[in-house]
Chains A and B, each alone.
Chain A
C-alpha cells in the first residue's frame, strides 16, 4: 500500500515537473550515455524504457547512446566533457564518483533536487548502494545498474560427492572441506572437476573484497584518500585465496578468467563459482543442471562488496536540462521500471519499494535465487573507491596477481601496493 502511495507521489511530482518544462515553449534535449556490461537484453531494455518515457513526455527528447563497456563509457563521457560537450546524464561505475568529482564534471543531486519530496526520494534506496554514491554529505549518484557477487553451486555435483545438494558452504572452512570432496580426478591423477572458482583476471579486487569484508576489514576510507592494503586481516584474506589452489588444491592454479567462468560452471569444470548477480539470467538460461545461489561464505562475518553503475548528472548543461534529467532518473528508478530492469538482467533492484511490486513478487516466487542478492545487501559494503580510482585498483590488482601467480608472498605484495597507493593519494589528504 505504502509503495502505491510512493509511486503515486513520484508520478505526481513527475507530472508537476513535466508541466513546468512544458510551459517553457521549446522541448528539452537530453543526451544519455549508457554502458552494457552483461550480454543479452540489457541494451534493448534501456531503449524500451527511454522510448516509453519519451512517449509519455513529448516535451523531452532523450537521445540514449550506447557507449560500450563501463570503461568506454567513462572515457567517452570525460572526453566529451573536456571538449565542452558532455552528455546531460550517464550511467557510469559507482566507483568512478571520485574521478568525476576530481574532474569537476558532475553536480550533486542535492543541489538540483532539494524539495522535501526529493529528500525522501534520495533516502528511498538501499543504504548499501548509497555508500558508493555519497561523499562529503552529498549524493552524486543514483543507484541503477547495481550488482553484488554471489556463490553459485551445482546441485548435481554436490549429490555425486555425497554432499547435501541443498546446502551451500556457509564458512571459509566449509568451502575448503566441501571443495576437497568435490574435486574429481581422472585415472592419471589430473583434475577434471575443481571445487570452487573465484575468477581473478581483469579486476580481481572486486571478489577479493568479498574475502576482506568477510574477514572484517575495509579496504579504503569513505573520503577516498587512504587505503588499508597492508592490514594483517587483508593479508590473511589474500593468503586464504592463494591457499585455495596452492595448499588445499580446490581451485585451479594461476589467474582465472572472468569471461570463461560461467562456461566452466556449465561444463562441469567447477562445482562452485563466485560471480556477479548480473549473470543470474544467463546461468538460469544455460546451466544444464540444477543449480543453487547462496550468499558468499562467512569468516569473521558475512560480507560482500556492491558493484555496478549509477546515474550521474553532468554540470555543463542548462538548468532546464538538469531538471529534466533528474525527472528522468526519478522515473527510471521508480519501483515499476526498476523491477522491469531487474527482471530482464539480474541486476539488483535498488530500492525496497521495487521488490514490493506485484511483478517482482511473482518473479521472486517463481525464481527464489533472485532474492539472495537482496538479502546479502544487509552485509554488503561499498566497492573499493578512491581518488585516482583506476590507478589505485590497478595497483591492488597487480599485487593480487603477483601473489596468485606465486611471484611474491601476500604480505610483500600488499605492502608494496600500500606504499604505491600512499604515494598516489598523498596529494588528496
Chain B
C-alpha cells in the first residue's frame, strides 16, 4: 500500500512538469511533423495530404540551401570564436588585477543588454560614411567608405561579430566559475615541479574545464541556430539572403509568406539537425569529459 502511495505521489509531483512539456514542446513538435505532409490551408481551400511534396519543394528551393550554408558558416565561425574569447577573458579576470570587478562587469555587459537594442547600436557602427567604423577608417587611415551591411561578401561576417561579442561575455561567467572551483593547491604543486604556464593550462586547467566546455559548446550551438534577433533589425536577411539564417527564413516563410506547411517542413529539418548534434555531443563528447 505504501509502495502504491509512493507511486501516486511521484506521478502527482511529475504531472505539472509533464503537462507543460507535452503541451508546449512535444505536442507542437508532433503537429509540426504532421503539418509538413499537408498543403497550406487558405481561406478558400482547406489543407490536404500531399505526402512528400513539401520536402521535394525544399530540396529544389535555392533559398533553403543558401540559408543552410550561411547557417553552417555562421556556426563554424561563432562557436569556436566565442568559446575561445570567453576563455581568454575568464583567465584574464581570474587573475588578481586592478579594477577587476570593473573589467568583469564590462565583459558581462553585452549579455545583459537586449539584442534588439544592441543591434541598433551596431547598425550605427556599420553605417557607411558616417558610422563609427567608417569614421575611424576614413579619418585615420584615409580609406574610402565601405558599405559593410550592403555587400554580400561582408554582411554575414558583420552578423558573426555581433553574435560573438554578445555571447563571449555570457560564456565567460561559466568559465570564471569553473576556474574558481579549481583548488589553488594544484597550481602550487605545478610550480614546485617547475611546470610552465602553458603545460599547467594544457594538462590541468583545460581538462578540468571540460564539463564547462561541453555545456558552453551546447549552448553555443543552440544559439547559432536560435539567435536571429539582430538580423531582423540590421539586415532583414538581405542583400539577396546573404545574411539570412535558417530560423529567420522559417519566420519569413511562416509569418510573411503565410506558407505554414512549408515552414513546418523547414522546422522539421531544423529539429533534425539540432537533435543529431545534441545526440552526437552527449554520446561522443561525454566520454572525453571528466566529471568530478
Contacts and interface: CB of A to CB of B under 8 A. Distances in A.
Nearest to A105: B43
B150 A260 contact: no
A99 B40 CA distance: 14
Given A269-B130, A394-B256, A407-B152, A401 B238 contact: yes
Interface string A398-410: 1101101101000
Contacts of A253: 147, 150
B43 A405 contact: no
B43 A75 contact: no
Given A253-B150, A269-B130, A391-B257, A260 B144 contact: no
Nearest to A269: B129
A256 B138 contact: no
User: Is the contact region of chain A dominated by helix, strand, or loop, or is it mixed?
Assistant: loop
B143 interface: yes
A256 B129 CA distance: 11
Interface string A315-340: 00000000000000000000000000
A257 B127 contact: yes
A127 interface: no
Given A102-B42, A260-B123, A394-B256, A254 B147 contact: yes
Contacts, number: 103
Contacts of B259: 391
Interface string B138-179: 100011110101111000000000000000000000000000
A45 interface: no
Contact of A264 (B129, B242, B255): B129
Nearest to A387: B42
A361 to B, nearest CB: 39
A191 interface: yes
Interface residues of B, number: 32
Nearest to B147: A254
A267 B235 contact: no
A407 B153 CA distance: 10
B211 interface: no
Interface string A161-194: 0000000000000000000000000101111101
Contacts of A269: 129-130
Given A253-B147, A254-B151, A405-B152, A394 B257 contact: yes
Interface residues of A, number: 42
Given A190-B138, A190-B144, A256-B150, A407 B240 contact: yes
Contacts of B242: 405
B256 A102 contact: no
A316 to B, nearest CB: 11
B128 interface: yes
B129 A405 contact: no
Interface in B41-84: 42-44
Contacts of A267: 129-130
A401 B256 contact: no
B32 interface: no
Contacts of A259: 123
A255 interface: yes
Most chain A CB within a 10 A radius of its CB, from B130, B147, B238: B238
A398 B144 contact: no
26 contacts: A99-B258, A188-B142, A191-B129, A191-B144, A192-B129, A201-B150, A201-B235, A202-B238, A252-B128, A252-B129, A253-B150, A255-B239, A256-B147, A257-B127, A257-B149, A260-B124, A263-B127, A263-B130, A267-B129, A269-B129, A394-B256, A394-B257, A398-B241, A404-B239, A405-B152, A405-B242
The 4 closest A-B pairs by CB, nearest first: A104-B43, A254-B150, A254-B147, A255-B150
Interface of A: 71, 75, 78, 99, 102-105, 186, 188-192, 194, 200-202, 252-257, 259-260, 263-264, 267, 269, 388, 390-391, 394, 397-399, 401-402, 404-405, 407
